[in-house]
Amino acid sequence: MNKIPQFVCADETLTLAYKLAIGTVAENVNLCKAGFLREDRPCLMAGVDYPTPWTRDAAINIHNAAALLAPKVSKNTLLSVLKKQNGKTLIGGEYWDKIIWAIGVKKYLEFKDDAPFLKLAAEALSNTFKELEENEFDSGLNLFRGGAVYGDGISAYPDKYKSPVFSCGIIDFPGEHPKERHPKGVGVPCFSLSTNCVYFKAYEILAEFKKKLGSENKAELLKAKKMKEAVNKHFYNEAKGTYDYLSGECDYQEGMGISFACLFGIADKEKSLSVIKNAVITNAGIPCVYPAFERYTKTGGYARHSGTVWPHIQGFFALAALKAGDADKFEFEFKTLAKHAVRDLQFTEIYHPDSGMPYGGMQEWREFPGEDRIGYWESRRCQTWSATAYLSMVYEGIFGMKLENGVLSVTPYLPQGIDKAGLKNLYIRGKKIDIEITRSGIGKTISVKLDSQSKKIKITF
């Protein structure tokens, strides 16, 4: 417990929210034997109610904060979602978004030199890409089929996808709609923004890994280039100045998708400015999908996966806004999430867009009463990716921390009303670092090489 970084500033709400976030990560580390783990090892769960890691949640949590806070736990968690199939190492999890594993691996390897794991990761990504390219790739559009990254629930999709027997997941669509299913792969026919942004980023990451291993990576670089072009061609809506959610069938706003487009460099500077400017924000933050689909709003509520506010999406959007130069939108998401966490003394899974209270949203389930079988779902408690979203806004937003090739760069930003902030007891690659930032230093960048001679580094702006 002696290596937990401390965040200090004059705003008590922000510092208490940080402590709650650190506590949430710690309480969700449990022993687990799964995937490539042959014995119980500490792994990071999605929340207190989850018995095993989920690929998507694990990757996001490791990317946002866990790689910095707990590299060993991060590695265990990444290994726990791998599998062997027909002698090949593959990534497990929901088929459409499991390639997001790549962003967790990349962040872990920034904080830890691990050549054997780098080789294993490149193998897993290569094999998984081959499987997905064969089954889910549309060569005409140069896009991958499948649901949104966070959108396993049916309430993330238009009426076309709802279940005739009131199933709650998009994964049931192919079996329940044999005429509408796609003949290849799993069969979900949609093309979603967030998922295709992730495929683009994963190609870039695999190309980077192959380069480090001395392997040829021209194919991956070309695929990434073509995917970037395809996302801009098939999702960007010139008239609205933003990206559509489902290519060719739903022009709603997808919070995670537009955030990834900006953060991953799919959107150029001009598009990023337009996307952030035109984003619809609710009282409680950016909604996962906007607007909510009518079959839910007519009940007087919001859908579990559309209209509601999910904190991990808030975190990505806040960083995308700051990258685009919109500090006000960053501050709003940052301070709003902190306020909610301190009020509830926890980071919950979902918030009501108007009241800001914990709210699980409406979604179908065959056991619910009524003709449409739509009822209220609970918001999960102590959700890890809600906490790591806040931590990412501290580490990558307030302190602007970036680690590449053993060099830590810090480009700070201080919210209005705060003139000084610090990170104390920060350990990176075995080195203890204290960072202090003051209002006079905003806009400056300092880079520090974490070489073997560095025992303690204090950065003062």
pLDDT tens, 170-191?
999 999 999 999 999 999 999 9
pLDDT at 461: 45
219 and 213 Cβ atoms separated by less than 8 Å:
no
Alpha carbon distance 407, 404 (integer Å): 5
Alpha carbon distance 440, 89 (integer Å): 51
Angle (nearest 5°) at CA 132 between 126 and 138? 125
363 and 170 Cβ atoms separated by less than 8 Å:
no
pLDDT at 3: 85
328 and 276 Cβ atoms separated by less than 8 Å:
no
What residue segments make up the domains of the chain, in order of their start?
20-29+280-398, 400-461
pLDDT at 458: 57
Angle (nearest 5°) at CA 353 between 296 and 57? 85
Q: With a cut of 50, which residues of the chain have pLDDT below it?
A: 454-455, 461
* Residue 111: alpha-carbon gap to chain centroid: 18
Q: Can you read off the two tokens belonging to residue 284?
A: 């409680």
pLDDT at 431: 87
201 and 60 Cβ atoms separated by less than 8 Å:
no
pLDDT at 455: 43
